[in-house]
Structure 1
Amino acid sequence: MTQSQLLQFVNCSILRNHEIIREDIWVRDGKIVNPEKMFFDEKISADVQIDCKGALISPGFIELQINGGFGVDFSCDFEDVEEGLRVVAKGILAHGVTSFCPTVVTSPAHVYNKGFDSVLETYGSLDNVRIVTVAPELEKAPEVIEKFVERGITVSLGHSMASLGEGEAAVKHGASFITHLFNAMLPFHHRDPGLVGLLASDAVPDDHVVYFGIISDGIHTHPAALRIAHRTHPKGLVLVTDAISALGLEEGMHQLGQLSVEVKAGCAYIAGTDTLCGSIATMSECVKFFKEATSCSIVEALEAATLHPAKALGIHQTKGSLHFGADADFIFLGKDMDLWSTWISGECVYQAKGKTEAACFCKVKRK
């Protein structure tokens, strides 16, 4: 199929406008289009109809925090960056991810005390940087946060010992995200809840949503903590994996850079110990676990991995939804949200093995 063809996806339900409805999706030139304009303005019909076999079509998952996978570490493997990105981008298609932010573990703490000029020296032009984590208690944090925001970069708060007051001050300067809530920050305390308190802070303006990443792999965040976060601030919840280079590797021993890692029972351990060395969760697993742990709706679970991360980055006009004009990046889901296939720009880029009902190109009509 060519990009200029008008595609009609039939026999499906779709997630649109916060609800699941029975409706077709129309795609042309990699975008979701309004069929009324096709009928009444252009007076044309579909070039190809694709029978979705009753699938639920959701926007593709958006991953805001992934450190690597399939043996690639974004913080260490600089010899062939493009190849590393290609390997991970291809691997996560099997888990419904159509967009992601490669996450780099950055510099020693003293770098952040030197102000924004040193940040520029460290990262270069920042042209390819979309989200940065800052510890708000550092002396130069307000200045750095404002400079990042001026450049259209989402500022996240995390890896921090900050009080709630310091977090609220950072939000006033433009911070709008929290990095993996509950992890790498002060634990919740009833007299000073720290960054966790931003979820219910009355110092955050009503029109300023503070989004927060949370790892719902059943290991890094207890199900009760997931429920607390979801019930407190559902519209800000963003599912992330924080996966490391061991993601996607077979069980057994692996040498990842200088670290020997053992993958067993769905976890990655420092070889010879019971010490976890990072997440190897997939986004599709996190979505399912989140829904089960919180008893939320399918819509809420899917939007936590689609619409919310898109809004957190300010790209929700083209990503994270199935609105007219959005990129045609979506996934087919079956019963129990099992992934059937992954599509980017209206092209099938992954099909689950053994899912004959999920045939990517089941053409039932050609114009």
Structure 2
Amino acid sequence: MPSAIPSYSRKPTVHSKIYQFINCRLVRDGCIIKEDLWFRDGKIINPEPVFFEERVLADVTVDCHDALICPGFIDIQINGGFGYDFSSDVDNIEEAVSSVAKGILSAGVTSFCPTIVTSPSSVYRELIPKLKKKEGGREGAGVLGIHLEGPFISPEKKGAHPLQFIQGVEEGVSKVNDVYGQLDNVAMVTIAPELAGVADVIAYLASQGVVVSVGHSNGNLEDGEEAVNSGASFITHLFNAMLPFHHRDPGLVGLLTSRLISHPVFYGIIADGIHTHPAALRIAHRTHPEGLVLVTDAMAAMGLGEGEHQIGQMKVKVEGKRAQLVGTDTLAGSIVTMDDCVRHFIHDAGVSLVEGIEAASLHPARVMGISHCKGSLDFDTDADFLFVSDKGPIKILNTFIAGECVYSAPDAPHLTFNHRKYSTEK
């Protein structure tokens, strides 16, 4: 009579390597659980069918020594870093994206959206075909698509965007196509919701699979509500470059609690201790926690020191942790990294470690419509994950993309991959 217990000593004929990380804690389903992490072919897998149906054990086991494993971070608004600016380094854009993609691995970022600020049409037409979507790996974080932050924004709330290149959309969809040239590699567009003709443009962009964000706006709540009901789903860097909250007209901030929109919105927050006051951060989170998305809005000076740098067509001076347009007091993006944003958010908003992590992983994945494959440690999602130390402020130890370790901190504990030996069953 055959045994009810399956035999696991025979190596299957066709079998991709299965990895089992043991003795670890996982951020999963909104909490921290004590459970092994299994993955194969770059995907997180459910071990039960492997055990009971395929009748095999893991090929490789790794003792994680009680490490905390969480999903990889996703940055959907980043202008550059490490001396590169995506909007002005037109001639060497591939090098710029590659360098930033590699550099942000140490901050736990496994996917990102290169962001182009308001620029001449010629810049969009040259950059958009070159900035192709790509999977991440040893060469760096994956590219989800471009975030076009302009030029269809408010001149009154331009921030670090050059006034001479800001445009309207009175001509509708034809104007958008004329300025951008194509949308093939575009994942997100920031647009001011009060512009004439904007509703049709938003509906068109959404129909093309582009995430539409409202921002750099002088519009009121009604403008925002119309935009959301036309297809917008995100707010670019809440509180910054928009009308301030007022009790008789809450502006775009009021979208967080509006009852007149067809779907809840997500909103970006730059949690660098400069762009958003801790009290404002707490207000936003307590009002609509599920919608909060951490973004860096980082520019070329990220990873470098003080001095003059570039963002798009404009010069920026960095002093301490503050980046301003030269000769003004206007903030020009940040120099913060995503892991710093998570630390600031946890400390300043008083949220849990899991809430901080999900604001940088699950929430941006939901914004981009990719939560079925990224942003969590659910079964069948991409094996993009981080080993982090939670003994004090969160610290990135290792970054994995598709199950491959692509970054290790200098002080990260050594991981030993134990390969199983198979025997022939007689």
TM-score by length of 1: 0.93
1:175-324 matched pairs, under 5 angstroms: 175-205=232-262, 208-249=263-304, 251-256=305-310, 261-269=316-324, 276-324=331-379
* Partners of 2:416 and 2:328 in 1: CA distance: 49
* Partners of 1:277 and 1:65 in 2: CA distance: 13
User: Alpha carbon RMSD of aligned pairs, Å?
Assistant: 1.8
> Residues 195 and 256 (structure 1 numbering): CA distance in 2 closer, same or farther, change over 3 Å?
closer
> Residues 259 and 171 (structure 1 numbering): CA distance in 2 closer, same or farther, change over 3 Å?
closer
Task: From 61, 66, 74, give the equivalent of 2:73.
Answer: 61
Residue 202 of structure 1, CA deviation: 1.2
* Partners of 1:178 and 1:261 in 2: CA distance: 24
1:37-76 matched pairs, under 5 angstroms: 37-76=49-88
- May I ask how many residue pairs the two structures share in their alignment? 359
- Is the CA contact (8 Å cut-off) linking 1:12 and 1:57 kept in structure 2? yes
User: Match for residue 114 of structure 2?
Assistant: 102
Task: From 331, 343, 349, give the equivalent of 2:400.
Answer: 343
Give the unaligned 5+ runs of structure 1. Answer: none
Residue 268 of structure 1, CA deviation: 3.2
* Partners of 1:261 and 1:253 in 2: CA distance: 8
Give the unaligned 5+ runs of structure 2. Answer: 1-14, 119-150, 152-164, 422-426
Three-state SS of the structure 2 residue aligned to 1:277 is coil
1:214 corresponds to which letter in structure 2? I
Percent identity of paired positions between Structure 1 and Structure 2: 56
Three-state SS of the structure 1 residue aligned to 2:336 is coil
The CA deviation string for residues 270-326 of structure 1, in whole angstroms up to 9 with x for no partner, is 568876433001110010110111111111111111100000111000010111110
Residue 123 of structure 1, CA deviation: 1.8
**2:36 is aligned with 1:16:** no
**2:104 is aligned with 1:92:** yes
Mean CA deviation greater in 19-28 or 262-271: 262-271
- Is the CA contact (8 Å cut-off) linking 1:5 and 1:47 kept in structure 2? yes
* Partners of 1:165 and 1:113 in 2: CA distance: 19
* Partners of 1:127 and 1:352 in 2: CA distance: 36
The CA deviation string for residues 38-66 of structure 1, in whole angstroms up to 9 with x for no partner, is 11111111111122222111100000100
- Is the CA contact (8 Å cut-off) linking 1:111 and 1:119 kept in structure 2? no
Residue 263 of structure 1, CA deviation: 3.9
Task: From 121, 125, 135, give the equivalent of 2:192.
Answer: 135
Residue 262 of structure 1, CA deviation: 4.7
> Residues 67 and 7 (structure 1 numbering): CA distance in 2 closer, same or farther, change over 3 Å?
same
2:97 corresponds to which letter in structure 1? L
Three-state SS of the structure 1 residue aligned to 2:366 is helix
- Is the CA contact (8 Å cut-off) linking 1:253 and 1:260 kept in structure 2? no
Three-state SS of the structure 1 residue aligned to 2:342 is helix
User: Match for residue 229 of structure 2?
Assistant: 172
User: Match for residue 416 of structure 2?
Assistant: 362
- Is the CA contact (8 Å cut-off) linking 1:253 and 1:271 kept in structure 2? no
* Partners of 2:192 and 2:114 in 1: CA distance: 20
Residue 110 of structure 1, CA deviation: 2.5
